[in-house]
Structure 1
Amino acid sequence: MATPSGALDAVTIELGASSQIGLTVVLMVIMFAVALALKVEHFRFLRTEPKRFWVGVGAQLIGLPLLTLGLAFLLQPPPSVALGMIVVACCPGGNVSNLLTHVAKGETALSVSLTATSSVAAAIATPVSIVFWSGLYPPTSTLLRDIQLDTLPFVVQLILILAVPLAAGMAVAEKAPRIASRIRPWLIGFGLAVIAALILNGVITYWDVVIGVGLQVVPVVILHNALAFGLGAGLALAAGLPGPAARAITFETGIQNAGLGLLILLSQFDGLGGAAVVTSFWSIWHLFAGAMLAGAIRFFLARRALKLSPGK
């Protein structure tokens, strides 16, 4: 895949110090809001159904980044696009996966457990994984050197940014569950509004660049997301898990919190153009693709049930 004269790699989203601080605060607010819904009971699958739990965790934390690395070597996109793909793959699962699993008649409790686990693990796994997997692909490794990313301070700083609000949110959820349930929707809404505003502003500001490279980035994101769904389903079926569990792992692997990735890129990576485009489009596309997949699965299951019903 040819790089369009390095157009995406050359674009950076300039942010002042106050804007970067603001985005960091938003990032912490989102992690705090996510943690407000986490409960000890969400991790019970580790004890009761360890096989299902570890297949799901492995698909998210190892399988998807490894798949992404292979896809980058195969397609050879611009380095900043590859970085965006890796950042998305290293983000925790999104809560939308729980709803889509329910629609697809999957094992919703397992989905919730995996989302909770990936959210907690993200405090350490996301920054470490971004640095690790980016370092294994030479173009992104060179790109990080070019922007003079100091990996150790980056990892430590991002762990603190993610871990502190995560721990605080879980503490509030444990000690004051009523308060947690009341404020969480408002905080989630605030975070989503900021992410939507960032995407809209980026599209308007860099419209010429987006149009110029859109035909290159869009197919990559669609293929990447489709393979993520396929990876979750394939690993679950290969492990011999039943249909409902397989559907839960499918959506947990294909639905990633790309909005979180966008905030990380803007606040920590100087808003690299290609990476920002990938995470922005993924934030929109995975919802559409996930909804279509969930609807198709539900339709298929309903048709099968009709065929198996007595007298039909």
Structure 2
Amino acid sequence: MTALARFSSFVGNSFALWVLSFAALGFLFPDTFRQLTPWIVTLLGIIMFGMGLTISGRDFAEVLRRPYQVGVGVAAQFVIMPLLAVVLTLLIPMSPEVAAGVILVGCCPGGTSSNVMTFMAKGDTALSVACTSVTTLMAPVVTPFLVLMLASEYLPVDAWAMFQSILKVVLLPLALGFAAQRLLPALVRAAVPMLPLVSVTGIVLIVAAVVGASKGAIIQSGAMIFAVVALHNLLGYLIGYLAARVAGVDLAGRKAIAIEVGMQNSGLAAALATAYFSPVTAVPAAIFSVWHNISGAVLASWLARRT
């Protein structure tokens, strides 16, 4: 078990490399990995269950202890990234499917990778975890609403069905994981070291499935989508940091909010795009999964030197 835990930790620490490798495999062997497309929602549910196993009452106590800073982070998350997505779709010519996918990524909550990157950046990790938890809990209502308001001009949006899906694949697994902590604490403590392996496996399979199902679209417009995704992510970091600074948040908190804003739950975006739009709409989410882990690690290394 110790060896498996060490391997799990290694996989978690080399997350970006695994995502990049499986994206390449999905591109090279599309027929193999596109068969995983029907399992994307299930894989996301497993990932969210793992997140539920690690959420504690302390994370929600942090919200009560520092409501202002958490409020700044949550507001920045659900304002900056959706608006940036809209601006990019207006400035850069792209198909309706890709535009809807970019907006969908922007409307999702923060990703759990942001917590790791904040820790690496010597930022306020407790604030990052609190923001991720709150935005994830808000996602069933906020994400469908934002997608309906901002993306319906590109593709039809079934906000009610999307709300129900997020409840099933995000909140229900989170709740089950949180309940397992209370009912089976010893078993959960033994399982927690394995969670990086489970989470990384789920994400890389989602990315490979989306890439495999969308190889044609990637060949046709992959460079443009990558440019949009990279701009979206990098501007999210920058504007998130500046917004936190204007709001009077300290340096450690600015690091946390910048990373929280820039790193999205792209797995959720890929699952929703696949379920309600098309594989092409999921391509920005797949590319975001690869890119934001690379950019996040680079940014965290640079921010760690700012004290």
* The two structures share one fold, judged by TM-score above 0.5: yes
Q: Tell whether the 8 Å contact from 2:118 to 2:259 is kept in structure 1 after alignment.
A: yes
SS in structure 2 at match of 1:44: helix
CA distance in 2, matches of 1:194, 1:109: 25
Letter in 2 for 1:81: V
Q: What is the match of residue 303 of structure 2? A: 297
Maintained 8 Å contact 1:236/1:246: yes
214-223 vs 28-37, which deviates more? 28-37
8 Å contact from structure 2 (residues 55, 178) kept in 1:
yes
Distance 2:79 2:258 in 1: 15
Task: Identify the residue that residue 8 of structure 1 maps to in structure 2.
Answer: none
Equivalenced residue count is 275
Is 1:70 the counterpart of 2:90? The answer is no
**What amino acid sits opposite 1:247 in the alignment?**
K
Tell which deviates more after alignment, 152-161 or 90-99: 152-161
Counterpart for residue 284 of structure 2:
278
Q: Provide closer, same or farther for how the CA distance between residues 111 and 188 of structure 1 changes in structure 2, counting only shifts above 3 A.
A: same
Deviation at 1:254, TM superposition (A): 0.9
What is residue 179 of structure 2 aligned with on the other side? 171
Write out aligned runs for 1:103-182 (5 A): 103-135=120-152, 138=153, 140=154, 143-144=155-156, 150-182=158-190
Cα distance change, pair 177–87 in 1 and its aligned pair in 2 (3 A):
farther
TM-score under structure 1 length normalisation: 0.78
Report the counterpart of residue 107 of structure 2 in structure 1.
90
Identity between Structure 1 and Structure 2 (%): 31
Moved more, 112-121 or 185-194: 185-194
Q: CA RMSD in A?
A: 2.6
The equivalent residue for 1:288 is 294
Give distance in 1, aligned partners of 2:79 and 2:116: 24
Q: What code does the residue aligned with 2:242 have?
A: G
CA distance in 2, matches of 1:100, 1:161: 24
> How far has the Cα of 1:241 moved from its partner?
1.1
SS of residue paired to 1:36:
helix
Distance of 1:183 and 1:21 partners within structure 2: 27
- The verdict on how the C-alpha distance between 1:286 and 1:239 changes in structure 2, with shifts beyond 3 A counting, is same
**Which runs of no fewer than 5 residues in structure 2 stay unpaired?**
1-29
The separation in 1 between residues aligned to 2:94 and 2:121, in whole angstroms, is 33
1:222 matched residue in structure 2 = 230
Q: Which runs of 5+ in 1 are unaligned?
A: 1-12, 302-312
Residue type matched to 2:180 in 1?
A: V
Please give the alpha-carbon distance, in whole angstroms, between the structure 1 residues aligned to 2:38 and 2:214.
Answer: 22
Displacement of 1:221 in angstroms is 0.8
Alignment of 1:228-239 (within 5 A): 228-239=236-247
**Relative to 1, partners in 2 of residues 1:133 and 1:179: Cα closer, same or farther, differing over 3 Å?**
farther
Match of 1:308 in 2: none
Highest Rg: 1 or 2? 1
Between 1:108-117 and 1:232-241, the stretch displaced more is 108-117
* Contact 2:121/2:300 (8 A) holds in 1: yes
How far has the Cα of 1:55 moved from its partner? 0.3
Displaced runs of 4 or more, over 6 A: none
- Answer with 231-240 or 98-107: which moved more: 98-107
The two structures have a TM-score, normalised by structure 2, of 0.80
Superposed displacement of residue 200, structure 1: 3.1
2:116 match:
99
2:61 corresponding residue in structure 1:
44
DSSP 3-state at the match of 1:241: coil
Give the distance between the partners of 2:129 and 2:214, measured in 1 at CA. 37
Instruction: Tell me the secondary structure at the aligned position of residue 305 of structure 2.
Output: helix
Structure 2 contact 162–272 (Cα < 8 Å) conserved: no
Query: CA separation in 2, counterparts of 1:132 and 1:181?
Result: 42
Query: Which amino acid in the other structure matches residue 239 of structure 1?
Result: A
